[in-house]
């Protein structure tokens, strides 16, 4: 089980204001690149925009998280229970959750897309998925793999499950901690078709962290869940 974390409110606020700054920096950087290309009369490569945006955001988030846990007297590994006595258990449970959630999540995604199409609001795939399917560049695919399977799961799980979930729970609002972080997790991906599947997945990830007390478990589940498009692409299945 996940023990109380005693995160300091002022440090939590500082962390999330820093993350908001990262969002702003990423957006500003993208707008500057779009402006530079528009002056030449051409469209900027979507790969460039996605890479710059993700690098700007996570370039702020990663050092902010390190400073946050050090400010509480921890290392990253000790702060999130990764140095637990049974890391193999976290890996196994994370793998089992991913295996269980993949068919549920993608079935729900297909149902939501069909409903949106019927209502006249067709939904596109997430930007990184479209870029993955449309790019033949090994460099771009390699970056997308590293970002989706390694960087994003580690950073997002540290923020949502490692910090925000126990902080709200320890304030005395366990249900809000579960559903609030799950809904926010769905919202930040900015894709209306993926909102419900990702919200459900976010709830499951919080439950897993609460159960194991080891962030390695939700990180593993998240990484394997994000790995699915790469596996499908390697298998030669056409997702378009």
Q: Quote the DSSP letter at residue 159.
A: I
What integer pLDDT is reported at residue 133 of this predicted model? 67
| DSSP class per residue in 63-88 | HHHHHHHHHTT--HHHHTTTT-S-HH
Contact 77, 209 (CB under 8 A): no
How much is the pTM?
A: 0.90
Of residues 239 and 21, more confidently modeled: 21
pLDDT digits (tens, 9 = 90+) for 108-162: 999 999 999 999 888 776 766 777 767 777 888 888 888 889 999 999 999 999 9
The CA-CA-CA angle for residues 5, 20, 157, to 5°, reads 40
At residue 125, the pLDDT reads 67
Angle between helices 9-39 and 46-71 (to 10 degrees): 160
* Residue 44: DSSP 8-state: P
**With 90 as the cut, is the pLDDT of residue 6 above it?**
yes
Instruction: Give residue-wise pLDDT tens across range 162-211.
Output: 999 999 999 999 999 999 999 999 998 888 999 999 999 999 999 999 99
DSSP symbols for 197-217: HHHHHHHHHHHHHHHH--THH
> Hey, what are 123's tokens?
């939904």
**Euclidean distance between CA atoms 222 and 227, whole angstroms:** 9
Whether the pLDDT of residue 69 is over 60: the answer is: yes
Tell which wins on pLDDT, 231 or 85: 231
For residue 208, the tally of other CB atoms under 10 A from its CB is 26
């Amino acid at each position: 089980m996940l023990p109380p974390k005693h995160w300091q409110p002022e440090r939590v606020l500082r962390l999330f204001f820093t993350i908001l700054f990262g969002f702003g920096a990423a957006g500003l950087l993208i707008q500057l690149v779009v402006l530079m290309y528009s002056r030449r009369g051409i469209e900027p490569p979507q790969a460039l925009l996605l890479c710059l945006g993700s690098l700007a955001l996570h370039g702020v988030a990663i050092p902010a998280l390190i400073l946050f846990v050090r400010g509480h007297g921890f290392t990253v590994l000790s702060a999130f229970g990764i140095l637990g006595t049974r890391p193999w258990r976290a890996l196994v449970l994370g793998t089992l959750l991913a295996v269980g959630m993949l068919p549920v999540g993608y079935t729900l995604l297909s149902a939501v897309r069909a409903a949106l199409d019927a209502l006249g609001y067709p939904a596109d795939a997430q930007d990184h998925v479209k870029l993955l399917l449309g790019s033949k560049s090994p460099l771009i695919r390699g970056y997308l793999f590293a970002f989706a399977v390694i960087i994003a799961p580690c950073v997002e799980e540290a923020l949502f499950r490692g910090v925000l979930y126990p902080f709200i729970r320890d304030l005395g609002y366990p249900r809000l901690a579960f559903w609030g972080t799950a809904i926010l997790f769905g919202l930040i991906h900015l894709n209306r078709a993926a909102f419900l599947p990702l919200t459900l997945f976010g709830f499951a990830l919080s439950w897993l962290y609460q159960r194991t007390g080891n962030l390695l478990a939700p990180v593993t589940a998240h990484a394997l869940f994000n790995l699915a498009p790469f596996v499908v692409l390697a298998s030669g299945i056409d997702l378009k």
